[in-house]
Structure 1
Amino acid sequence: MTNIAKKEPQQRGKHQLQNVRFYTIKPREIVSLAYSKSSKCLALSRATPVIELWNLEHTPYLDRVIHLPPYSHVESIAWAGNRLFSVDLSGNLIEWDVIKLKQRYEHSPTGNALWSIDVNPAETDIAVGSEEGHINILSIENDEITYKTLFNKQKGRVLCIKFDKTGTKLVTGTEGFIRIWNVLKGTTLHTMTLSEKDLIVWSLQVLSDNTIIAGDSAGFVTVWNAENATQIDSAQVMDKNVFALAVNNKEDRLVCSGMQPPLIRIFSKTKIKREESTSERWIKFLQRDAHKHYVKSLLVIDDQIYSGGMDGILTITSSERMQAHLSQHAPFLKGSVASMAISKKLLLLRYPNSVHLWRLGSVAPQGEEKQSWALPVGHTEEQLLEQTPQKLLQLNVKEDHFIESAAISPDANWICYSTLKELRISRLKSDPLQVERLVDDLPQELQPASHIIFTEQGDLVLLNPQNNHLSWFTLEEDLVTFKYTIDLSENCKNTISHLVISSHSEYIVAASSDHIISVWKLHGKQYKHLLNLPRHRAGTTALSMHEDYPRVVVAYANGQLVEYDLVNRIFTCETNEYLIPETRRHCISGISLDPQNRNIFIVHTEVNLYVLERDQHLDPKELVSTSKSKKLSNGNRSSVAGGSKGLSLKTSLSRQHLVHVSRLSPNELVNVSISTNNLLAPLPPPYRRKKFGAS
């Protein structure tokens, strides 16, 4: 951990920034990707029992997470409109409720492990392939899942399955063979034999011109004519295992990747003229070196390549030659992963199956500082730590339990963390360090919580994700007492993604996944819904409130930042979209406000920390009041006159996989980040390619 002094554009702008780099989570392999055009949602399954839902309407961000039963292993996922389906190795075909984030229907077509799934173009039928070679067609019409057809059994597991563009034919890949089926009759039309019987067909694509493209375990990509089952072309694009194939909407770009080497290779469909004949061939076009370990799944969405594999990092690259950008999204846990006890300089870190408590380091004392720090804005200098960080304790849960939230009280007397099934609260004592878990005489209202907040008044606040009820508790010596519950569900019907309580427990601000931000006013046990902020067309990615000041600051997925006055009900600051250009790649994921200077906004993405300053020339009379019914950011509306952006970017600091920033003191910040090397350290050594001229 290092400590950096950072200068901001104010006299009190010198900050110490403690970089916490000892937070390391294990990579969670990406197994399957599926995209819904109607909802612009990317579903992502991992080797752990979760399905992540990423919003791609603007800048990609993790919107919601579906937690699966323990030891569930989703092998493939598919969308039918806004309906999400998955198959797993337990033999279950499951439809998921993407609003309530729970299972909707379950069907077991064969009783054997299911490896593959596809939806026909009309989105009326689903095909699934099993371990024993069974292929089932199920109808998903009338908002149900019903059995329709069982194909003739084939030898070997069905690892990949694809409908053609008409929906009348089905193509399957197994060990040694590619088969074309008649969907109506369930019989084989053609069987194509690979060069060797032990070759495994890992991936398939069926194009609108009746072309079949297959990737196999020998590293070959083979093109077939589906009409007469003849081979058109074959080329070895990798040394081993082409796990994934994808094509763009125009079907003129073919993207493939796999194990050795883990490169993303792009081919372009090109017309070849030879004498009087003309034919189309796939020609090498581009290559992207985006992963160090094998790639398991690929998608092409609007000329952007989405890839994921063993390293668990969702990577986005371009399929066009002139755009060589690369953005990577590490496998973070949804929600806050860090909590601070400011008085004792303690940091609580959340992991999937444990929470770790650390004491932060302290800076060696410096000589008397000069009255003026005559250094340019954005200058940084490293300082030595007199005391290194120290790990104090680790609290574990069973491997099949997932910790969805955790927090430590500001006075460092309490630690509370919640799994999906139970909530645990412990009393923390120092000198000597002791942790005592409370198990007796706990109130029944102490239920699992998606958000845990300790207020400055000493209360414990829990949000129940099942009903969006906010429960308040008082904490005394070894005693937890229930106070009251606030029902947020009338205004926030969907999953609440962000929750903020003002420093004096006067306001509650909650943002839900359907782009609604609601505010409640508290007065003792009495509460009332105050207002809803104008609904934004982009999702909320960060939320914060000024200390001792009734203004809420919101960051949206389109890079826009707004500040709203809850008393006067007006926007006091608003930026244009993508004021920070980098927010086109990574959304703003956190906001830290300066209690000494309300004009300073510190925001961060996954890769950068930014300091913004309010434009001083703004006149409060220029602010525009906005009604509840008017949607924010539809058109070119701005809440400040003269086209002013409201904020200006002053400086930025680059980081690697930044997950948390919080304030330790008025002039000290703590940021928690994960280095790529530490993230990939538990994995086997990456594949090394021989390069020309290297010894």
Structure 2
Amino acid sequence: MVHCKIHNVGFYTPEPRAIYCMSLQRETNKLAISRSDASIEIWNLNDCPFIERTIPANLENFSIEGLCWFGDRLFSVGIHGLLVEYNLQELAIKNKWMVTGESAMCLDICFCKSLVAVGTEQGYINLFSINEDGVNFEKFMDKQEGRIVCINFSKDGEFLATGSLNAIRIWNINTGHAIHRMQLGRIESKKDTVVWCIHFLSDFTIFSGDSRGILTLWDAKLGAQIENYQSHKADITALCLSEEEDSVYCAGVDPLITNYQKVKVGQSYKWVKSIQRKIHEHDVRALVFHKNKLYSAGMDSYLACSYNPPKTLIKYAPVMQVPCVQLASKARLILLRYSNYVEIWSLADTETTKENYKGLVQLTSKPKKLVAIQRLKLNWSGEDEGEGIFCSSISSDGQWILVSTYSGFRLYELEIKKEKPKLTKVDELDDCDKPCVQACFNDKSKQLIVVLRTGTIVVYDLGDGTPFISQTIINTNVFEDTVSLLTVSTCGKYLVVGDTKSNIAIWTQTKDGYTLWNKIPRYPAPPTTLAVNSATACLVVAYSDSKIIEYDIKNREFTSRSRNFNQNLPSNWKTRSNPIRNITFDPRKTNVILLSDDSNLTVISSEKESETEASPSKSKRSTMNGVGSAKVDFKTVQKYKHLVYFNHLNNDELVAVEVNPLTILKKLPPAFAQKTFGTK
């Protein structure tokens, strides 16, 4: 690879959004995560964990206090007093039902009886039955004093355990009455003990964690305490059990994660303290144990995965789903997407250097924030608040900017005169009241391409100044799920669209518009990113299990280099912990592919093709036929931390956008601290 100047962008500083709830769908290995802004991320855990889809923050659903799966359906409750079901394909609220008892604080679902139990602020337990159309209200349990903080069904669905202030209750579902009330002690006489988390075991025992930092084991048949453990110095807010129910993990305001193992002693079993790990520095709000791996999250906004043996810890940064950064290479502008607004920055200019120069390059101008775009809407309090963003895009010349929210998508025209930006909203745009989940610009044809939530592809012509719909592609036979990837080649000829179920289709541009050219063979793992090399007419796709394929679009076949990828992979390639986020190409060397993930930059080159680089026509021909890529070389550079974007600006300039972990740490609230002897 020849020398390049790299713009290291460090002014992308997304707010750390704390993780409040987590819920696991064990059959499909999908982990639902709710954040402090009420957005929901669906993580795919089958191979390398990555964000498969995101439901942006909705001002109508501004709070998520509980999250639960029922098969492939996702439900949540919040302080707005609503039970909400989501449409995961269209990334929207499917239905909502009012709950009696003001704010809904917690929920649990019994799969065997198709029941939803919701605990509320006023002490009501609402029971709903789940059907194909939604849910139906069944009945109330007896009203209790004080709010219900946590709730959990027994394995057979006959009983229900709830935690509240100073007490735990066991309920009979059929009668609606509490059969046991177990009272907890207090540290101070006037300070209530709050039961933050509770879990029913198959042997009809219960684990609970409370504000005293005590983990307690109860006998639900007798309504009596079996054992308690002073496992933490502050509130226990999360606990989880292993699939075999022989191991329990707990954590909370004191972020130390403590493990207890079930050990046989004589003819009985006892729970014995095992290991302790300090993975987080701030409050832990949620724990999930799956396939011998512990997933933990909380106020620091990181999703952590830990397991032993071997002793391993992987932390996934609070970075939004790809693409959250886009480059306008001709205008030297960069678009940075946040949860509810976008920023447009101009990149710095540098001094000219010699071809083989290495080191820092002096800047002749500094990067500058030009505009920030936010779509405001009235929230429940009657105040203006920014709507959550589905997607955003910017054209290569920086003239057009698109931002999509729940209210629809808006197109803006950006004009910069004498370093002063002028932003104009385009009003006359058909179907702009429908949100789009993906969007991109075809700069060669002056087109805007958007994918609506229903999967329909709409093409707008921007050439005459007044945008209008030039083509609508209804792809019901092509895609099966949400479209997650969309790109247009720099030559403007190829349109590539992919969904979360690994369906990837290619359209070519003709005089009559885009025509479906081919659908590449489906791979079992979902794709994480893709890109088209216009110089060779090849599509490169990276999948969640770290597989890389190169597809020859013109010949409709995989290249020989693609077939040799697996034979030349580094030894640690298949054990990668972070998915590939970006793919780019060197415009001066057609045999080079650059891949980037959270911390690594990988350069893939083919040796035989580099030998024929002196003959461009021959090189291109050998690449297309897959002749010159018999040997593939992988080189990895570990230079960055939380690298969210990496791409070419022009022939000799690259842009790397990095989120500094220190900027995340600075924005976090104070962590739990306790005085120790001899210190102040």
**Is TM more than 0.5 here?**
yes
Distance in 2 of aligned mates of 1:41 and 1:244: 20
Report the Cα offset of residue 682 of structure 1.
1.9
Match for 1:670 among 645, 649, 655?
655
Note if 1:389 corresponds to 2:367.
yes
Q: 1:287 to 1:390 in 2, by over 3 A?
A: same
Would you say the 8 A contact 1:38–1:82 is kept in 2?
Answer: no
Q: Which moved more, 1:411-420 or 1:222-231?
A: 411-420
Quote how far apart the aligned CAs of 1:492 are.
2.1
Change (3 A) 1:221 1:337: same
AA at the equivalent of 1:686: A
Q: Which amino acid aligns with 1:124?
A: S
What's the CA shift string for 1:98-127, capped at 9, x where partnerless?
223333332223152111111225152121
- TM-score normalised per structure 1: 0.87
Q: What does residue 105 of structure 2 align with? A: 115
Distance 1:605 1:194, change over 3 A: same
Match of 2:588 among 554, 572, 596: 596
Which residue, out of 377, 388, 398, partners 1:412?
A: 398
Indicate yes or no: 2:89 matched with 1:89: no
CA shift for structure 1 position 271: 3.0
After superposition, the Cα gap between the structure-2 partners of 1:442 and 1:190, relative to the gap in structure 1 and judged at 3 Å, is closer
CA distance in 1, matches of 2:388, 2:473: 26
Corresponding position of 1:4: none
> Which residue of the partner structure matches residue 289 of structure 1?
278
**Equivalent residue for 1:606?**
598
Residue type matched to 2:118 in 1? V
Aligned to 1:267: 260
Of 315, 339, 343, which aligns to 1:352? 339
- Shift in Å at residue 172 of structure 1? 0.7
> Is contact 2:445-2:492 (8 Å) kept?
no
Structure 1 position 351, deviation (Å):
1.9
Q: Between 459-468 and 577-586, report the one with greater CA deviation.
A: 577-586
Which of 642, 651, 657 lines up with 1:657 in the alignment?
A: 642
Task: Give how far 1:302 is off.
Answer: 0.7
Tell me how far 1:178 sits from its aligned partner.
Answer: 0.6
Given the alignment, which residue of 539, 558, 578 partners 2:545? 558
| 8 A Cα contact 2:528 2:543, kept in partner | yes
Separation in 1, partners of 2:481, 2:305 = 28
Q: Note closer, same or farther for the CA distance 1:438–1:115 as it changes in structure 2 (3 Å cut).
A: closer
Change (3 A) 1:693 1:401: same
- Residue in 2 that maps onto 1:585: 577
Q: Deviations over 1:60-104 (max 9, x none)?
A: 111112245305201101112222211121211122222233333
Aligned to 1:438, the other structure's residue is in SS state strand
Q: CA RMSD in A?
A: 2.8
CA distance 1:690–1:562, change in 2 (3 Å): farther
Instruction: Provide the C-alpha distance between the structure 1 equivalents of 2:550 and 2:90, rounded to a whole number of angstroms.
Output: 30
For 1:219, the equivalent position in structure 2 comes to 213
What are the residue-to-residue correspondences of 1:40-189 with 2, within 5 Å? Answer: 40-67=29-56, 69-70=58-59, 72=61, 73-141=63-131, 144-189=134-179
Select 2:441's aligned residue among 451, 454, 458. Answer: 454
Quote the Cα distance in structure 2 between the aligned partners of 1:43 and 1:694: 42
Q: TM-score, normalised by structure 2?
A: 0.89
Q: 1:429 aligns with which of 406, 416, 431?
A: 416
- What's the counterpart of residue 382 of structure 2? none
Q: Which residue of 2 aligns with 1:634?
A: none
The answer to whether the Cα contact below 8 Å between 1:364 and 1:385 also exists between their aligned partners in 2 is: yes
How far, CA to CA, are the matches of 1:565 and 1:411 in structure 2? 28
Query: What CA distance in whole angstroms lies between the structure 1 residues aligned with 2:275 and 2:386?
Result: 42
The DSSP-based 3-state class of the residue aligned with 2:467 is strand
One-letter code aligned to 1:184: N
Q: How many angstroms apart in 2 are the aligned matches of 1:640 and 1:269?
A: 58
Work out the CA distance in 2 between the residues paired with 1:349 and 1:650.
Answer: 29
Q: 1:525 to 1:430 in 2, by over 3 A?
A: farther
Q: Aligned in 2, Cα 1:445/1:352: closer, same or farther, shift over 3 Å? A: closer
Question: After alignment, is 287-296 or 381-390 more displaced?
Answer: 381-390
| Structure 1 residues 286-335: Cα deviation after superposition (integer angstroms, max 9, x where no partner) | 222221211111100111111111122211111x3x32222222222334
Q: Which segment is superposed worse, 605-614 or 173-182?
A: 605-614
How far 1:169 moved relative to its partner? 1.4
Q: Which residue of 2 aligns with 1:498?
A: 485
| In 1: Cα distance, 2:302 partner to 2:504 partner | 30
C-alpha distance in structure 2 between counterparts of 1:102 and 1:645, whole Å:
47
Residues 472/81 of structure 1: CA separation in 2 closer, same or farther (3 Å cut): closer
Q: 1:607 deviation in Å?
A: 2.3
Instruction: Indicate the residue corresponding to 1:210 in structure 2.
Output: 204
Deviations 1:110-166 (A, max 9, x none): 152111111225152121111111112222245541222321111111111111122
Aligned residue pair count: 647
CA displacement at 1:386 relative to structure 2: 4.3
Alpha-carbon separation, structure 2, partners of 1:690 and 1:656: 33
2:632 and 2:314 mapped to 1: Cα distance?
25
**CA shift for structure 1 position 458:** 5.2
Letter in 1 for 2:645: H
C-alpha spacing 1:414/1:530, structure 2 compared with 1 (3 Å): closer
Query: For residues 104 and 252 of structure 1, what CA distance do their matches in structure 2 show?
Result: 38
- Per-residue CA deviation, residues 200-258 of structure 1 (Å, 9 max, x unaligned), is 00001111222211000111111112221221211222211100000111212211111
Q: For residues 369-384 of structure 1, what are the structure 2 equivalents within 5 Å?
A: 369=355, 381-384=359-362
Q: Does structure 1 retain, via aligned residues, the 8 Å contact 2:101–2:124?
A: no
Q: Which runs of 5+ in 2 are unaligned?
A: 377-384, 611-624
SS for the counterpart of 2:330 is helix
Higher mean alpha-carbon deviation, 131-140 vs 327-336, is at 327-336
Partners of 2:58 and 2:406 within 8 A in 1 = no
Task: Give the deviation of 1:44 after TM superposition.
Answer: 1.1
1:465-484 equivalences under 5 Å are 465-475=452-462, 479-484=466-471
Letter in 2 for 1:355: V
Letter of the 2:661 counterpart? T
Q: Where in structure 2 are the equivalents of 1:287-326 lying within 5 Å?
A: 287-318=276-307, 320=308, 322-326=309-313
Distance 1:400 1:459, change over 3 A: same
Name the amino acid aligned to 2:402: C
Amino acid aligned to 1:673: E
Give, in angstroms, the shift of residue 441 of structure 1: 4.2
In the alignment, the residues of structure 2 paired with residue 47 and residue 679 of structure 1 have an alpha-carbon distance, to the nearest angstrom, of 15
Are residues 1:26 and 2:45 paired?
no
Taking structure 1 as reference, are residues 144 and 416 closer, same or farther at Cα in structure 2, changes over 3 Å only?
closer
Matching of residue 400 in structure 1 with residue 390 in structure 2: no
Identify the residue that residue 438 of structure 1 maps to in structure 2: 425
Match of residue 635 from structure 1: none
CA contact (8 A) 2:438 2:483 kept: no
SS of the equivalent of 1:115 reads strand
**Residues 44, 51 of structure 1: 8 Å contact kept:** yes
- Are 1:37 and 1:81, in contact at CA under 8 Å, matched by a contact in 2? no
Q: 1:382 to 1:71 in 2, by over 3 A?
A: farther
Per-residue Cα deviation, 1:152-204 (whole angstroms, up to 9, x for no partner)? 11111111111112221111100000111111111111111101271000001
1:528 to 2:515 alignment: yes
Partner of 2:619: none
Structure 1, residues 606-656: CA drift from partner, whole Å, max 9, x if none? 2222222236499xxxxxxxxxxxxxxxxxxxx999xx9974421222322
Amino acid at match of 1:549: T
| Whole-Å separation in 2 of the counterparts to 1:410 and 1:161 | 52
